[in-house]
Structure 1
Amino acid sequence: MAQHAESDERPRRSAGEARAQVLGVVAGVVRWVGLAFALVLVIHVILTVGSANPANGITSFFADVADPVALGFKDLFTPADHKLSVLVNYGIAALFWLIVSAVLARVIRRFA
């Protein structure tokens, strides 16, 4: 019976604390997803500007993943130089993901 009494003395988390913890985790996931998207875009920019072999598996992987992540930014500006186009458009997309994920994470944490 003494063991049962000890387990009842453990502090229990309130619903508000549990909610805050869950929302904190969700905010962290949102932030990490935004960072991952930005990282993919930046790597694609580096590989393109650095003239990496487009037939290489790594280069094509990052190009394939970066295209949908860039959303509508991938053809926002259309300079004649392809490298400049990738640098500007995918760079703006990377900044977009960093800013949006930071703002969303902050908003989610406010509800915690």
Structure 2
Amino acid sequence: MAEDVGSGMHRGGVRRADVRRAWHRTLGVLITVVRWFGTVCAGLLAVHVVLTVGGANPDNGITQFVASWAERLALGFQDLFTPADPQVAVVVNYGVASLFWLLITSIATKILAALGGHPR
């Protein structure tokens, strides 16, 4: 079946406008997922800083859970700076890692939005 130029139909009766809408909807969902993922990663790193500086019990399950995820999400930043005070090291290194996640998330969502002409 040939393309119907007047109606904007593709083969199988799918309209270009419908495809475009589906693409924008999918892109919007992907942008939201990326934004939430980056925010959760940055949040876990920030919670790790608060628990460490606040003197949370290292044997507590919540503290262990957050610390194990923070270690994974720090992406090599956990020992970037080596100040004498270990608490300052956690604040600086995990704080930088948290900012990194926010920056990367922002860049990724802008790139995704630009791919589809999305207004975000």
Q: TM-score under structure 1 normalisation?
A: 0.86
What is residue 87 of structure 1 aligned with on the other side? Answer: 91
Counterpart of 1:98 (choices 96, 102, 109) is 102
Structure 2 counterpart of 1:98, one-letter code? L
Deviations for 1:21-63, whole angstroms, at most 9, x for unmatched residues? 1011101100100000000000000000011111111111110
Q: Which residue identity is paired with 2:27?
A: L
For residues 72 and 19 of structure 1, the distance between their equivalents in structure 2, rounded to whole angstroms, comes to 35
In 1, the alpha carbon distance for the partners of 2:17 and 2:61 equals 49
Moved over 4 A (4+): none
Structure 1 residue 13: deviation in Å? 5.1
Deviation at 1:16, TM superposition (A): 1.1
2:58 partner SS: coil
2:45 equivalent to 1:41: yes
**Structure in which a larger fraction of residues adopt helix:** 1
Deviation at 1:110, TM superposition (A): 1.2
In the alignment, the residues of structure 2 paired with residue 68 and residue 74 of structure 1 have an alpha-carbon distance, to the nearest angstrom, of: 9
- Where structure 2 has 5 or more consecutive residues not aligned to the other structure, the ranges are 1-15
Separation in 1, partners of 2:37, 2:17: 28
- List alignment gaps of at least 5 residues for structure 1: 1-11
State TM-score, norm by structure 2. 0.81
Q: Distance in 2 between matches of 1:35 and 1:14?
A: 31
How many aligned residue pairs are there?
Answer: 102
% identical aligned pairs: 49
